[in-house]
Amino acid sequence: MRLACGLARLERRAVGGLAVGMLALPGLAAAAEGPRPTTVFINYEGARLRGGDDSSHDGLSCINGELDYPAFFGSEAVADQVTEQVRGLFEPYAVRVVDERPPEHLPYTMVMVGALPQDLGLDNGVGGYACVIDCGDALARETVLVFGGSIEEPRELAQTIVHEVAHSWGLDHVAASELIMNPTTSGAERMLGEGCTALDEPASAKCNEQHAMFCAEPGMQDSVAEILALRGPAAPDLVPPVIELRSPVDGTRVWPGELVRVEAIVEDDHPDFGWRWVVPELSWSQRGSDDALELRFPAGEYTVRVEAIDQAGNEASAELTLMVGEAEASDSGEGDSSDTGGDGGSEDGADSASANGTELDDGCRIGTDGSPRAGLVLLLLAWIRRRRRAKAA
């Protein structure tokens, strides 16, 4: 059975995985940052995939519109076997393999297992599909497809999953038939393989610059060395992210509609952790970034919470209470909308916070019914600095 890789020209190739076209992405800079532990989510339940490159939103980068991807046809016992075998193949690396969807604010690679290749208009001989060969895993949130309806052997299915995931991290096909990155599947036991081995089609390989970092001879790839450099070796990680809510002070009182700057520092000892802002009373959340938030609230009492999770699954949270009322409003300047400069987080000076802000839905006002939900205004301004702590010795 053949595996396919995404082709930029939507050209199907008789190679491993199911890809619409191979697209090399500039991920080498990301790889140079050092090991980035990650999570692989194996989805056996099916999903409605949408065009995009965000796995947490069921995005598939090589489609337009929507695609209903069927669930895995096999039994739960077979799915458990496959998951355990994938864990075994990734055991040497800082790669966590799960079969329950992680929180949306955590970057992860999703593997859709199910369907038949014919469901997507492909011939019977295709076993899997990766939309891009993502050098250095620049996207960090890719979705790959494995046709679990056409592969019955758990070991072959597990090896196909690893093959497609490895494409999304920048590995190309190799010629050696005994290795997982060979463009055909097999029920025989295969490994990723240590040492430099010849690429299957060196002229069409998409991440040659990445491969050259580990193999001096052109047209070669060291799959184990590349994954080890990208993800790092497996090691216990019991330390959760650290969150510091710097402003406003817990219990601050403001007027309804007054701008309130909320500033936080979120850190972890490894990159690619995830975090988000949450206001539970309004059923609102937003994935964290290097920006900050300035909020406007209607009258009421609110919890502003930051939640964080790292690639080992360690979680942390911090929160404060904000009192929004018609009386006893703070005159401390916490909500002064003219204070957009801050003391850091931008190299462009005091005006950059306002210039880089995003105004959502006509000033970010949600609803018009006069309820607490209706009055929340979100302006993505101010400052959040996300820093990485020095890794403990």
Give yes or no for residue 45 having a pLDDT over 80. yes
> pLDDT digit string (tens) for 272-306?
999 999 999 999 999 998 668 889 999 999 999 99
Q: Where are the domains of the chain?
A: 2-231, 242-388
pTM for the full model? 0.79
Q: 98 - beta bridge partners?
A: 41
- The rounded distance, in Å, linking the Cα atoms of 41 and 286 is 21
Q: Are 328 and 253 in contact (CB under 8 A)?
A: yes
Interior/surface letters 83-110, b for 16+ CB within 10 angstroms, e for the rest: bebbbebbeebbbbbebebbbbbbbbbb
> pLDDT digit string (tens) for 336-380?
433 333 333 333 332 222 223 322 222 222 222 333 343 344 433
Mean pLDDT, to the nearest integer, of 241-269?
94
Q: 51 - beta bridge partners?
A: 60
Mean pLDDT, to the nearest integer, of 309-325?
96
- The rounded distance, in Å, linking the Cα atoms of 2 and 282 is 49
Give yes or no for residue 259 having a pLDDT over 60. yes
Give the count of beta carbons closer than 10 Å to the beta carbon of residue 327: 6
Give yes or no for residue 15 having a pLDDT over 50. no
Q: What one-character DSSP code corresponds to residue 312?
A: T
| CATH 1.10.10.10 assigned to 242-388 | no
Interior/surface letters 211-238, b for 16+ CB within 10 angstroms, e for the rest: beebbeeebbbbbbbbbbbbbbeeeebe
Read off the pLDDT band of 1 (50, 70, 90): low
Q: Say which CATH topology domain 2-231 has.
A: Collagenase (Catalytic Domain) (3.40.390)
Q: Are 184 and 1 in contact (CB under 8 A)?
A: yes
